[in-house]
Chains A and B, each alone.
Chain A
Amino acid sequence: MRRTPNYNLILGCTLTAATVSVIILGFFWTPYEPDAMSIAERSVSPCAAHLLGTDNFGRDILSRVMQGAGTTLEIAFLAVSIGATCGTLIGGLTGYFGGIADEIIMRVNDAVTAFPSVLLALVAVAITGGGKTNLIIVLGILFIPSFARVVRGEFAKQRNMDYVKNAKLMGVTNLRIMFVHILPNIAPVLLSSIAIGFNNAVLAEASMSFLGVGVGPTESASLGRMLLDAEAYLFSAPWQALSAGFAITILILGFALISDGMGYRPTWRPVAKRRRKADA
């Protein structure tokens, strides 16, 4: 059996590495000051001096996209960190110990995951109010159930394995078994959920900011916010909206390809195995 290279994973990693490098570069250097306005250069179409043109305030769009993608990625990173950490803790504990708490938490999880996350985020923002910090907290909490569900399933599977029983016989404490023995074994599954989490977080941030309830106008540029501001100038300066929109798409595509390449199917999981034609 000849293995075909995992194109999705390679492509996804390359794309994500490239965008993340540009974003990191944006933290230290941008072609222009992202907030510097220039009356003389309002709505300049893409040219050599401004690769992606300028917006209605004469701000360089490439610089703003670099900074905005940074904000978007920062929100996604923090939200996914909150979700993954809490989700792993909850999922690990419930999956490993089982029992009534497991049942209750999983039912609540099912109820929460049945709702589209953008709607839940909207509702949560309606209660807490908008802004970058609130958005991070809200998204982080909303991501907990999906992580908890994945981690719980894996822990429930692993806890009956021989190596866990051996460790128990040797007197290893439950906590140590959970985090030193089991956790490394579920790393592949956890990593692909994190990739999906990034995918969803970027989309959620963009949607919320686009709706005007996420990152505020006075805070740093974010891709969703830029898209919202650019919509009014769609006819006269379409490059504004296109730059921000394609930046969002490229970010999402990178993470989607990575999670796809890891062979992990999101919660609907239609097929257990994917067989290639060669071994049919």
Chain B
Amino acid sequence: MRYVLKKACVFVATLLVISVFVFLAFQIIPGDPTTRMLGTQATPEKVEALREELGLNAPPVLRYFRWLKGFVTGDFGMSYSYNMPVNELLSGKLGITAALTVLSFIMVVLISFPLGILLARFAHSLTDRLFMLFNQIVMSIPPFFVGIIFTYIFGLVLKLFTPGEFIHHADDSAGFWGYLFFPALAIALPKSAMVVKILRSSMVSQLQEDYVRTAFSRGNSHWRVLRMHVLRNAIIPVVTFLAVTLVDIFAASIIIEQVFAIPGLGRLLLGSITGRDLPVVQTIIMIIAVIVITVNFIADISYKYIDPRIRFR
């Protein structure tokens, strides 16, 4: 329990440090939002009035705390280009990206665990070697290119879905998940290849241990040894990697959204970056930071439950 508390303190401290960095980074960007918002109608008086209205004239420290308070309470400020509150822009978009990430993560687990165990069972055979080479090739294809290949094969040639025609969850729930299937698979394939590789090598190295010989000598079948003994020990590094993978999938989904025209967080982020809509960019970056740090925090804590041998100070 003390360990969890200590980790929780570090978690909050990291978030605060990152919030300071994010705030500072957006302070040094040249350009004044008022010139953009007012456009050709900018007069010195109007600029000054708008600066006052946006709270840009307050000292930086005060503005930081205002921004932080706003972020915690869910008031993310106003978007410069859409002239609407950022949280209205975000509502719904975060859910779509989260759905895509979770779907893809489930696929990674479903694909990689059976394959990894199977390959460990037949390690060093010809099939294993050939598959590992294939695995390496799959690992090297960028997710967005897998997405493009899928769009071509399943969208344009086989017409299993219509590229670019996103179906919202409110309109058609089944259609929504159906549309997300191929984007999720496009992210999941290269990531699964990585998990397969790690799970396989982790299991193969565990197979050399003495306890495996003991388990065999007690008359356990090969599969039983793998499942009951080896997998339990081999899974620890894999869980570490799965935490990294979850964050990577989230990042990849932001890119994949471009390929499949999914109106999620990624499209909003990119649109705001090219449009220099800083409050939106700032908010999305902070949300991403919160997600990344939370995932790592949960992974840190979960080790204890997966591997009771790990002692924490």
Contacts and interface: CB of A to CB of B under 8 A. Distances in A.
Interface string A112-139: 0011101100110111000000000000
B140 A270 contact: no
A241 interface: yes
A271 B205 contact: yes
A275 interface: yes
B142 A114 contact: no
Contacts of A271: 201-202, 205, 237
B205 A274 contact: yes
A253 to B, nearest CB: 4
Contacts of A280: 207-208
B273 A213 contact: yes
Contact of A119 (B136, B151, B251): B251
A103 to B, nearest CB: 14
Q: How many B residues touch the partner, as a band?
A: 35 or more
Interface string B261-290: 000000001100110000001000100110
Interface stretch (A32-40, A89-97, A179-187, A227-235): A227-235
A275 B205 contact: yes
A270 B237 contact: yes
A257 B292 contact: no
Given A118-B251, A119-B288, A256-B139, A241 B208 contact: no
Chain B contact surface mostly: helix
Interface string A252-268: 11001100100000001
A253 B140 contact: yes
Given A210-B255, A274-B205, A203 B18 contact: no
Given A111-B18, A271-B237, A123 B285 contact: yes
Given A118-B255, A270-B198, A245 B148 contact: yes
Contacts of A235: 152, 156
A207 B156 contact: no
A80 to B, nearest CB: 17
A245 B140 CA distance: 11
Given A122-B269, A245-B145, A249-B145, A207 B259 contact: no
Interface stretch (B55-63, B89-97, B241-249): B241-249
A114 to B, nearest CB: 6
A123 B285 CA distance: 8
A213 B152 contact: no
Contacts of A257: 136
B182 interface: no
B144 interface: yes
Interface in B170-217: 198, 201-202, 204-205, 207-208
7 interchain residue pairs of minimum CB distance: A270-B237, A116-B251, A253-B140, A245-B145, A271-B205, A252-B140, A126-B273
Interface of B: 14, 17-18, 25-26, 28-29, 123-124, 136-137, 139-142, 144-145, 148-149, 151-152, 156, 198, 201-202, 204-205, 207-208, 237-238, 240-241, 244, 247-248, 250-252, 254-255, 258-259, 269-270, 273-274, 281, 285, 288-289, 292-293, 296
